[in-house]
Amino acid sequence: MNAHQPTVLIVEDVPALAASYSAFLSREPVFVHTVSNGAEALAYLERRPVAVAVLDVHLPDMNGLEILHRIRAMGAPADVIVITAEGSVKLAVEAMREGAFDFIVKPFSKDRLVVTVRNALEHRRLSDRLEEVVEQSGEGPPGRLIGQSLAMQVVYRILRSAAPTNATVFITGESGVGKELCAEALHKLSKRKDGPFVPVNCAAIPKDLMESEIFGHVKGAFTGASSDRKGAALLADGGTLFLDEIGEMDLGMQTKLLRFLQEKTVQRVGEDNLRRADVRIVCATNRDPQAEVMAGRFREDLFYRLHVVPLELPPLRERDGDVLLLSRHFLELFAKEDGKALRAFSPEAEAVMLAYPWPGNVRQLQNVIRSMVVLNDGDVVTLDMLPKTMWSRHATPPAPAPQAVQAPPQAPPPATPLAAAEIRPLEDVIRCAIEGAIDACGGSIPRAAAALQVSPSTIYRRVEGWRTGELPK
Ligand SMILES: Nc1ncnc2c1ncn2[C@@H]1O[C@H](COP(=O)(O)OP(=O)(O)OP(=O)(O)O)[C@@H](O)[C@H]1O
């Protein structure tokens, strides 16, 4: 038996018939197993994956239709071919209604059985594939997140595992990678999804207002406190409190936050009462939290309380083709908003976007597309519509490419003067340098262009010229 071959289960109580059906299928790439009654068939189906079951409707212990019904009820994914006696078309119709894949009327030829089994196998294969696709799409990005890269799949898995728990999630990542969007997705995946999601940007709140912002205050607690205020912790009761840029919180406030985490009670500024707040905390920083602890800027005890489920968001440059998914999404969104016809990117524009390192991550990409849409018309985004800094020779070099970036493929000075016969046409030398750079950069023209310190369009023009025989002047 080949473990990769699909199993065909033959359910037939007459040994001679079972043997001949088995022989009919002997040249097919399947594993055939034979049983002689319904009970054995069901027991086998329960233990082993069966692709196709060939089922005689007249069995000693059970009616074929009953077996069919039970196969469907147990959720076995087998396609069932029912064998009926001549003249029992009614039974065949009933079997089809019960979910059989096809029926064969006795007596039948080898070809009839082989063709029907092949059809069923193909049907099974397509159904399995469809299920796989549906399953995968169910595992797509949570919330409003966009991206299918492997790096983001890891993030989605952590979000999905952490979501149903109450554990604090500590998100790290460069600015603009989508930390807040992840916190929101986690909330939406959690049991608290119908409760509030309250984000607090610790970097945007003046130091002396932070306590009141998070824990609230009563009227008259300080100058300017003209009315009672609930504060983010009480507002997030039953939901999630997202503390963004937690690295910006001063040590005094960190102590108060630690107390809140330990006691789960809130004391508003200017009030003695303690109020309970059932809150899940998610926090984020674009600093290195461990380094902050070492430097004495972040309380170690608070860090360990918060750092229960660490989630590191990868920078955009490490997310394979997500740049294009995000670009297309933002292009569609902004073009619609602005009533523009821009619908797609030219291959050159896409190549440059893929090669660009995006130091400001998704936020920068969003801004680039936003302003590009405002400033341009037409239906295709071309290279010149993108900021020149992304593709000109002064651009930040794209993500590290193999050797080529560190060692631009300029011809090293010859150790000895060239003999006249060794001199090659300049165009050959250029072609050799360009093709060498493209190879060294894994086929990426924008990266090769950065390494050669020319714009990608120079290379595109040359490559096109070699193809058509018309070299650029
Ligand atoms: N994977 C993504 N899919 C769709 N949009 C995204 C994604 N990641 C980020 N964004 C968008 O990019 C912008 C920046 O994201 P967000 O504010 O979540 O980043 P951040 O890491 O919290 O930034 P900061 O460190 O500056 O606070 C937002 O408009 C957000 O909607």
Provide the pLDDT for residue 411.
42
**Which ligand 1 atom is at minimum distance from the Cα of 173?**
21
d(C-alpha 185, C-alpha 187), whole Å: 5
Which residue's CA is the nearest one to ligand 1's atom 15? 178
> What residue owns the CA closest to ligand 1's atom 26?
175
What backbone phi and psi angles, to 5 degrees, belong to 275? -120, 140
Which CATH number, 3.40.1800.10, 3.10.20.340, 3.40.50.2300, 2.60.40.1260, labels domain 7-137? 3.40.50.2300
pLDDT of residue 131: 59
Q: Where are the domains of the chain?
A: 7-137, 150-314, 319-396, 401-473
| Rounded Cα–Cα distance for residues 446 and 317 (Å) | 14
Return the residue whose CA atom lies nearest to atom 8 of ligand 1. Answer: 178
ipTM above threshold 0.95: yes
| H-helix segments, 376-425 | 388-391
The answer to whether 280 touches 192, Cβ cutoff 8 Å, is yes
**319-396: in CATH 3.10.20.30:** no
Q: Does the CA dihedral 252-257-258-264 come out positive or negative?
A: positive
Do 319-396 and 7-137 fall under one CATH topology? Answer: no
pLDDT at residue 453, as a whole number: 64
Question: Which CATH code is given to the segment(s) 150-314?
Answer: 3.40.50.300
Residues of the chain with pLDDT under 50: 134-135, 393-415
pTM listed for this prediction: 0.60
Say how many C-beta atoms besides its own lie within 10 A of residue 359's C-beta. Answer: 13
Residue 448's pLDDT is what?
74
Cβ proximity of 247 and 289 under 8 Å: yes
Residue 145 alpha carbon, nearest atom of ligand 1: 3
CB atoms within 10 A of CB 461: 13
Ligand 1 centroid distance, CA of 42 (Å)? 52
pLDDT at 325: 92
Tokens at residue 255, please? 């102590």
Q: Does residue 149's CB lie within 6 angstroms of at least one atom of ligand 1?
A: no
Q: Whose CA is nearest to atom 18 of ligand 1?
A: 178
- Tokens 């900021």 label which residue? 387
Ligand 1 atom closest to residue 366's alpha carbon, by position in its atom list? 12
